Structure formats: C-alpha cells, structure tokens
Amino acid sequence: MIKITFPDGSIHEFEKEVTGLDIAKHISEGLANVAIAIEVNSQLKDLNTKITQDSNIKIITFKDKEGVEIFRHSTAHLMAQAITILYPYAKLTIGPIVDEGFYYDIDHEPFKPEDLEKIEQKMKELRSEKIPFERIELSKEKALEMFKDNDFKLEMINELPETEPISIYKQGEFVDLCRGPHVLHTGKIKSFKLTKIAGAYWRGDAKNKQLQRIYGISFPDKKELKQYLHLREEAEKRDHNKVGRQMELFTSSDIVGQGLPLLMPKGAKIVQILQRWIEDEEEKRGYQLTKTPFMAKSDLYKVSGHWDHYKDGMFQIGSGENVLALRPMTCPFQFIIYNAKSHSYRDLPVRYNETSPLFRNEDSGEMHGLTRVRQFTLAEGHIICRPDQLAYEFKEVVKLVEYIMKTLKIENEIWYRFSKWDPNNKKGKYIDNTAAWEGSQKAMKEILDELKLNYVEVEGEAAFYGPKLDIQAKNVHGKEDTLITIQIDFALPERFDMTYVDSDGSKKRPMVVHRSSIGCYERTLALLIEHYAGKFPLWLSPVQVKILTVADRHVEYAEKLKQQFQTEGLRVELDHRAESIPKKVREAQLEQVNYILVVGDKELENNTVNIRTRDNQVHGEKPVDKFIEELTEEIKERK
C-alpha cells in the first residue's frame, strides 16, 4: 500500500505497488494547482481509473503539454540550484517555460560558453542526489524576509495580493518563488542540455537592468534529447539569420541600429521580384496604388485611435503641439484619400494597395534578423465596401493569399488563426463596443466556415478596432509569428466619417477590410530563406546563371554570353578568375546559383554551354538559344 499526503493534509491510500515515472495532479476543488509525483506500475490504465475515481487525480505524462511543462520547469529549478552553488552572488529573477525548453534570467556578469559546461556538470551531480522538490506556503511578510537580498524577487512579491499565501519550492538548500508543480525529485530529470546564453532586460524593458539569460532543454531520456539536438542542428543550417548573411542577402550594423537590417543587392533583388509580382497581381484584381507620407501629425493617429492604443509603439518626432510620428500603418492615410471625393454605392468597392515602409518601436530584446525589425515593408491594402459586399471581398483576399502561398510553395507551412477580442479587457486594449464586436466576429466566423478554412480561435489577439484572420508560420526554431493579417473594421469608418451615397440617396457607412497579401517582405523573405535553405527556385534566385571560363581565351565568348542572357532578362554573373574549374564550380554551388555554365574550346567552337546545377546534376552541352528558351519557360511557370 502507498500513502500520499497532499499539502492540504488529506491522505489517499492505494493498494497497488508502484514503479516507473509519471506525474499526477490533484484537481479537486480548491487544489487546482497542487501537484504530486508518483510512480506507476505497468497497469497504468487501471491505476489511472482508480485514482480518478477515488481522489480526483489524473495522470499526466510527458506526452501531455502540461507534463512537458512540469518536467522542464523542474529542470529550470535544477539549473538555478546549480547556478547558485557555482556562483553564490548571482541573483535569480524569473525562469519560465518557452516553446523551445526553458530559461532563467540571472543578474550576473556575462556568462561564457565554458560556464554552461560547469553548470551542466553540477546539475548532473545534483540529479544523482535525488533531492526532493518540496512545496511550502508562506505569508507575504515571511516571503519578503526570505528574499530580502534580491530586489527582483521583492518587486514580484510586492505585486501579489496581501491575503494570498505565497508558494515557494525547495530542493536542498535552494528555494525560489514558484507556483509549481514539479516532479518528485531531481533524479527524475534524466536528460538535459543548456543550449545558449543571451542578454535580456528585466521584464523586457530596455530601461531596466540587463540580465544574463541561459536557455536549456530537457527530456525523460537521452534518445529524445539526441534526436532534438540533431533537429536543432539541421534547423541551424536553415536559420535565415545565418544563411541570409552567408549568401550576402542582408547585413546589419551597430552604427545603423538594432532592428534595421540592410538588404544587400541579392536580397534587394529578391524583394524587388516579389514586390513587382505582388503589385501586378493586385492590379489584376482591381486595386489602385497609393503613395502616402512616411509620417504624419499626431492628430491623424488620434482620429484613428492609434495614438490611444499604440502610441508607445510609435517613433515620435517633436514635442508639444507639433508632434509628428513615423507611420506604423497606412490605413489612416488611405482613408483620407477615400474622403478626398464623394462616392456612390456604384463606386464601391474601392480597393487601395501600397507597398509601405512602416516603423514600429519594438523592444530591443525582441529584435531578430529579418523577422523582428523596427522598419519593414508591408504589402498593405484596404478595401472600402458596402456591407453586402463584405463577405465576397473578404473571401477574395483569402483566395489571393492562398494563391501567393501556393506559388511560393509554403502553403503547408502556414495555418489560420481567428483572432478575437477579449471582452474582459474591452476598455483597455480594444474599442468598447460589445455589439459591434459580436456582430463583426459573427460575420467573420460565417465567412471562414463558408471557406472551409481549418482555423483556431484565440481570444485577445484582435486588432483594437476589429477581429482578424491571422496567417501564422513558425521559423526553424519553432518560434511562431504572424505572416499576414486580414481584418474586419467596424470602427474607423465612423471615426473618419467615411460615407457613400446609397441607392435611395441617403448617406451610409462603408465597411473596411484591412489586409496584406504577402505580408511584410522582410519576414516573408526570412521564411523563404529557411524554407528553401537558400536554394531558391529559378524565378526568385538573385543569381540564376553563372558562367565559368576554362582559360583567358574563353573570356570574350563568356562576355558575349553574359550580354545575351541579360538581354533576355536573366540574372547572370561571370567568373573569369584564373582558378581551377572544380574550385569555381564548388564556389558557385555554395552560392546556390541554379545553373552553372562552363565554357571552353568546345563550347566556343559550337556556340554552346556545358550545364550543371547547384546540386551537381550534369546536363552536359546544349545550344545557347535552346537553353535560354528552357530557362525562360521555367521562370514563367514559377516552378
């Protein structure tokens, strides 16, 4: 028989002998956050049934999201214990679970890679001691006394309600604030790896002290860890922040500033190709191009509501009555254009599009490559339509997005999120109009269901003026970002007094669909770099063809070939260095050039080229005109 004593003093007895690891959580009323760890024998199913019937406990394993969180949060505490032993003057702050494992933020001088090895070794020693995780509840007064030497913990404790008991978890001499739960003891944490060191500001605010952040990952066995590390290694090979720089697509500079990447010629060429394609596709669908200012008086953003809801995310210029702000979006500008003349119901819908450089004051800790930046370029657009046109226009935007995703071959890497408002936060984050929110969300849901989209619903992610459909994607490290949004706006037409004259001669309010088609070009480029691992399809490649000469006597012929390819609209480079052909071929392959052409005596005599690909497929000799024809067709079909 095994007896389990819960923190509330109740005792539950089980007749079965127990072995093996699982996590059980007490879910009875009033104890929703109390957890225990028990060992379960091979008859787990029967034991689970008995536990559920007898004591309202459910079994949670590493296959469950909650089980993963408990396991990894326990590993975070193990790491924190090792750090405090090795570095007694280090002050711990927070140590949450993240998608890719866990981290702890520590007030300490910068750690070095070799420090991670020391910490890991100490963690292994502590693991072997099988130190129990103990939950203890304290009054606020006692908690303040316990953590009196840690200003970060004191700040957190002082924010807690006066009457609520504060829980800590103890393992040996180590204690930390924590709601829990945890595994039974440190010996249960079989396999772990500390993955990287980064800087972070306390509570993500650049005005606060900079801390050291140590990331880690853990699994119940070594096999899973080994598999994870292998996948992570493969992900590193595709990481746009690494591949994009190696391919000279973009760079960055401390002199320029964080979140302000510089597109180099090859990266700029890819964006230009995408932009021309998107603007042409939008024009085919009846969009009218606008060009609007990069900044405006604060008055404009006060009308739109952005000043109240988004002011802290905007770059402001000037002070007092003459405050200007760099635009974080173009919708207010396009609404002013709409209002520049009157509109009949017959004129609607009006579809505006713009390739918009935008500016958002992101926290410095959030900056990353091309995915989190302070200046970016959005394929933005707004559709002003009658209410009876809303469903059709929204569906057409979704169809455009689907076409673009399929053409880019990333349709299987995205998913849809129906982002709704949070009615409990309606006076803070959102425009306070319950009826309008419910009506617009109902309309959007009907549209999504008619389209048979497979979407998830999430509260609290809507724009402040209306619900939206977010097209989501993950980078190679599993970090989720929004690629594209399509939004229904019930508020701004009224704020800007937008109207149209209906068939009965009365003035009516239009509806607005805010949308992008390909999203932010920088973020989309990052996704494409990772999707293709730098091996872009021919139509997107910044360099499609590279001509290699065997000897100096072939340079003149190669120059004529280069001119011929350029005349046909192909992007070509010439390598006439006095290097060996194998070396030049290998370098061209590393640059991910689609087709590598070798020209020597035979090619010169026959007016041909000898073709191979970046994947080292040899196509052999072919007439120049025929090869150009094949390339042109491949580009046209966007294969």
513, 490 in Cβ contact below 8 A?
A: no
Phi and psi, residue 458, nearest 5°: -135, 125
Query: Which residue type occupies 337?
Result: I
d(CA 9, CA 308): 50
> Tens digits of per-residue pLDDT, 172-194?
999 999 988 888 889 889 899 99
Render the burial of 582-609: b for 16+ CB within 10 Å, e for the rest.
eebbebbbebbbbbbbbbbeebbeeebb
The crossing angle, in degrees rounded to 10, of helices 434-450 and 390-407 is 50
Give the highest mean pLDDT range of 53-57, 312-316, 384-388, 466-470.
384-388
Q: Which CATH architecture has domain 545-636?
A: 3-Layer(aba) Sandwich (3.40)
419, 467 in Cβ contact below 8 A?
A: yes
Q: DSSP letter at 510?
A: P
Check residue 247 and give its pLDDT.
Answer: 94
Q: Higher confidence at residue 639 or residue 43? A: 639
210, containing H or E segment? strand 210-219
d(CA 628, CA 151): 69
Nearest Cα residue to 343 out of 177, 520, 508: 508
CATH of domain 65-238: 3.30.980.10
> Tens digits of per-residue pLDDT, 546-557?
999 999 999 999
Check residue 59 and give its pLDDT.
Answer: 59
431, 464 in Cβ contact below 8 A?
A: yes
- Mean pLDDT to the nearest integer, 460-477: 87
Report the C-alpha dihedral over residues 10, 12, 18, 23, rounded to 10 degrees.
-50
3, 9 in Cβ contact below 8 A?
A: no
Burial of 58 (0-12, 13-18, 19+ CB in 10 A): middle
- Mean pLDDT to the nearest integer, 210-229: 92
517, 282 in Cβ contact below 8 A?
A: yes
Cis bond before residue 132 (omega within 30° of 0): no
Of all residues in the chain, the percent with pLDDT exceeding 70 is 90
- What six digits make up the tokens of 333? 């500008």
d(CA 290, CA 332): 12
d(CA 41, CA 58): 15
Check residue 23 and give its pLDDT.
Answer: 33
Check residue 47 and give its pLDDT.
Answer: 40
6, 37 in Cβ contact below 8 A?
A: no
Class level of CATH domain 262-292+328-532: alpha beta
Residue 480's region, left for phi above 0, alpha for psi from -120 to 50, else beta, is: beta
Residue 56's region, left for phi above 0, alpha for psi from -120 to 50, else beta, is: left
d(CA 513, CA 5): 58
Q: Can you say whether the dihedral through the CA atoms of 397, 400, 401, 402 is positive or negative? A: positive
Which stretch of 69-83, 306-320, 477-491 has the lowest confidence by average pLDDT? 306-320
Which stretch of 460-469, 561-570, 584-593, 624-633 has the lowest confidence by average pLDDT? 460-469
Domain ranges in the chain?
A: 2-60, 65-238, 262-292+328-532, 545-636
List the beta strands (DSSP E) in 322-422.
324-326, 350-359, 375-385, 414-420
pLDDT at 351 over 70: yes
Check residue 60 and give its pLDDT.
Answer: 65
Q: Higher confidence at residue 603 or residue 56? A: 603
pLDDT at 566 over 50: yes
- Mean pLDDT to the nearest integer, 106-116: 93
How many other CB atoms are found less than 10 A from the CB of residue 515? 26
In a 13 Å sphere around the CA of 339, the CA atoms on its Cβ side amount to 15
Distance of CA 113 to the CA centre of its chain: 26
d(CA 214, CA 102): 8
351, 287 in Cβ contact below 8 A?
A: yes
Beta bridge partners of 350: 384
Would you place residue 265 in the very low, low, confident or very high pLDDT band (cuts 50, 70, 90)?
very high
Check residue 503 and give its pLDDT.
Answer: 94
> Tens digits of per-residue pLDDT, 427-457?
567 777 788 888 888 988 999 999 999 999 8
How many other CB atoms are found less than 10 A from the CB of residue 440? 24
d(CA 596, CA 584): 9
d(CA 160, CA 168): 14
Which stretch of 7-11, 56-60, 279-283, 531-535 has the lowest confidence by average pLDDT? 7-11
The number of helices, as runs of H, and strands, as runs of E, in the chain is: 19, 33
d(CA 76, CA 96): 8
Q: Degrees (nearest 5) of the Cα angle 245, 246, 252?
A: 20
Write the DSSP assignment of 211-226 as a string of letters. Answer: EEEEEEEEESSHHHHH
Q: Can you say whether the dihedral through the CA atoms of 586, 587, 592, 597 is positive or negative? A: negative
Report the C-alpha dihedral over residues 486, 489, 493, 494, rounded to 10 degrees.
-170
> Tens digits of per-residue pLDDT, 189-205?
989 999 999 888 898 88
> Tens digits of per-residue pLDDT, 266-311?
999 999 999 999 999 999 999 999 999 999 999 999 998 888 877 8
Q: DSSP letter at 133?
A: P
Of all residues in the chain, the percent with pLDDT exceeding 90 is 66
288, containing H or E segment? strand 288-289
> Tens digits of per-residue pLDDT, 595-639?
999 999 999 999 999 999 999 999 999 999 999 999 999 999 997
Check residue 12 and give its pLDDT.
Answer: 42
How many other CB atoms are found less than 10 A from the CB of residue 241? 20
Q: Can you say whether the dihedral through the CA atoms of 456, 457, 458, 460 is positive or negative? A: positive
Check residue 586 and give its pLDDT.
Answer: 95
Which stretch of 20-34, 150-164, 200-214, 344-358 has the lowest confidence by average pLDDT? 20-34
- Tokens 């709704």 — which residue? 420
430, 421 in Cβ contact below 8 A?
A: yes
d(CA 522, CA 368): 11
d(CA 110, CA 346): 65
Check residue 40 and give its pLDDT.
Answer: 32
Distance of CA 547 to the CA centre of its chain: 38
3-state secondary structure string across 135-180: EEEECHHHHHHHCCCCHHHHHHHHCCCCCCCEEEEEECCEEEECCC
Would you place residue 426 in the very low, low, confident or very high pLDDT band (cuts 50, 70, 90)?
low
